[in-house]
A and B are shown apart, each in its own frame.
Chain A
């Protein structure tokens, strides 16, 4: 079954530390995305990628880097974690971005920065 798997499921990080969130998809999708979800707000796009070895900035990229080493894997990197980056992070993949696109979301990574 096609899926998007995120790891870890949850993490506690220290302010100023480095955090890497991983995402793996078995959908054979070209597009992959990283979103953050804050309580009471809609998901916001951090970074996305439409091909391996290339990433694009989303709407809120500051403080985050992304890496797409292969079609299946997409990582989100917080070089210097800050308190404001406490949130739930979702990875998603899609075969396209239009009306007939098939979007699959991971179960999320709950990050707490202390």
Chain B
């Protein structure tokens, strides 16, 4: 059963527009949540890590929120650039110990057009 669901599956925006990506999960315990960016044919690159209830993070044009009560996270991308075209993957870590596992969503494919 999929424990990390992302929406939308794909999204097309015009350069300069803002967009919001959603992540809902059922992983328990939910120690932390990460957002990764995966360019086509490349590995995953970490964008941000959220840990605490109602955490908010900001990394340049990327910002993210976490609601642990709702088991929900959002990734906001402001003023999109063509280089933002990629798949964005939500990942939930189930504990902070050496036995911790990462649970991956299938990703949201973002396409930024001129």
Partner-B contacts on A (CB < 8 A): 4, 35, 40-45, 50, 59, 90, 92, 96-100, 102-108
The chain A residue with its CB closest to the CB of B45 is A105
13 A-B pairs (CB sep. < 8 Å): A40-B106, A42-B103, A42-B106, A43-B102, A44-B104, A45-B101, A50-B98, A92-B44, A99-B93, A103-B34, A105-B36, A105-B43, A105-B45
CA distance A90 to B32 in the complex (A): 22
The chain B residue with its CB closest to the CB of A3 is B43
Say whether A42 contacts B43, CB under 8 Å: no
Q: How many A-B residue pairs have CB under 8 A?
A: 63
Is B21 interfacial (CB-CB < 8 Å)? no
> What's the least CB distance linking A87 to chain B, in Å?
14
The chain B residue with its CB closest to the CB of A105 is B43
Say whether A98 contacts B96, CB under 8 Å: yes
User: Hey, which chain B residues are within 8 Å of A105, CB to CB?
Assistant: 36, 43-45
CA distance A106 to B2 in the complex (A): 24
CA distance A96 to B97 in the complex (A): 8
User: Hey, which chain A residues are within 8 Å of B1, CB to CB?
Assistant: none
Known: A42-B4, A42-B89. A97 touches B43 (CB 8 A): no
Given contacts A44-B104, A99-B96, 9 further A-B contacts (CB under 8 A): A40-B106, A96-B98, A97-B101, A98-B97, A99-B32, A102-B46, A104-B43, A105-B43, A105-B45
Say whether B43 contacts A98, CB under 8 Å: no
CA distance A43 to B89 in the complex (A): 10
Say whether A108 contacts B107, CB under 8 Å: no
Known: A90-B43, A99-B32, A107-B42. A45 touches B102 (CB 8 A): yes
Say whether B93 contacts A4, CB under 8 Å: no
Say whether B51 contacts A99, CB under 8 Å: yes
Known: A42-B4, A97-B100, A99-B32. A107 touches B41 (CB 8 A): yes
CA distance A11 to B102 in the complex (A): 27
For B4, B32, B36, B102, the residue with the greatest tally of chain A CB atoms inside 10 Å of its CB is B102
CA distance A107 to B93 in the complex (A): 22
> What's the least CB distance linking B75 to chain A, in Å?
16
Which residues of B, 22-63, contact A by the 8 Å Cβ criterion? 31-32, 34, 36, 41-46, 49, 51
